[in-house]
Amino acid sequence: MAERVYDRRGRKNWDDGVRTAEDERVTGRRAEVKRGGDRRQAERRVGTTVVDPDNERRTAERRQGERRVPLPANPTVRQLLGERLGSVHVLSAEWTIREAADFLATNRIGLAVIGTEQGGLVGVLSERDIVRAIATNGADGLYQTVDAYMTRGVWACGPEDDIDTVIALMREHRLRHLPVLDDSQLIGMISTTDIINHVGGLGGLGGAG
């Protein structure tokens, strides 16, 4: 009695000759597909290279970073901030709390300084100050002026202060930001994030204790 088998098309009782021919056809088809894939891959390798501008920019930045002179373990504020020194977000004391909140949100920051027209420092306004304004006066607090809720008597550092000094000042007064003053002129802001990014690469807080 013949063995009942099924081929790839559902046919029954096919003999060895038909089975062999079918297997050779399938095997040949697979080999042809593989050759086509190898040919296309080779064409891609010798074809036009697509340039990714973002990737080239990142590569250039990495190379630039490799050439950059490494910072000392205890750099000055000027050394740590580099080109960012001279750039700081400044509010006017006459702005409303609502305007200040929009300013912080737009710039994705949690604190901004209040400066004078002459470049001096008056105080700072943080997210906590905005919350305090709303908690005290409800929605009306949004229309109070920054002058009514800003923090005065702000601690500050100088561009030539070293990071150990800045860390000690932040710890003592529980600060996360310090304005940078040069001859009473506001020239920047240093934050705990700046310091963490630096000391993290050193594996600790150095001589800050």
Q: Number of folded domains in the chain?
A: 1
Q: Residue 30: enclosing H or E segment and its boundaries? A: helix 16-46
In a domain? residue 13: no
In a domain? residue 38: no
pLDDT exceeds 90 at position 50: no
Asked if 176 contacts 208 with a C-beta cutoff of 8 angstroms, the reply is no
pLDDT exceeds 70 at position 11: no
Q: What is residue 120's predicted lDDT score, i.e. its pLDDT?
A: 86
In a domain? residue 113: yes
DSSP assignment of 131-161 equals HHHHHHHGGGGGGSBGGGT-B-S---B-TT-
Least confident of 16-20, 116-120, 177-181: 16-20
In a domain? residue 3: no
- Residue range 155-199, pLDDT digits in tens: 999 999 999 999 999 999 999 999 999 988 899 999 999 898 887
In a domain? residue 33: no
% residues pLDDT > 90 (the chain): 38
Q: How far apart are CA 54 and CA 12, in angstroms?
A: 60
In a domain? residue 188: yes
Asked if 158 contacts 182 with a C-beta cutoff of 8 angstroms, the reply is yes
Rounded mean pLDDT, 88-110: 92
In a domain? residue 30: no
User: What CATH number is attached to the domain comprising 197?
Assistant: 3.10.580.10
- Residue range 70-81, pLDDT digits in tens: 777 888 999 998
Q: What is the DSSP pairing of strand 177-182 with strand 121-126?
A: unpaired
Q: What residue numbers bound the domain in which 80 lies?
A: 74-208
pTM of structure:
0.59
Q: How far apart are CA 49 and CA 53, in angstroms?
A: 12
Q: What is residue 39's predicted lDDT score, i.e. its pLDDT?
A: 64
Q: What is residue 85's predicted lDDT score, i.e. its pLDDT?
A: 84
In a domain? residue 165: yes
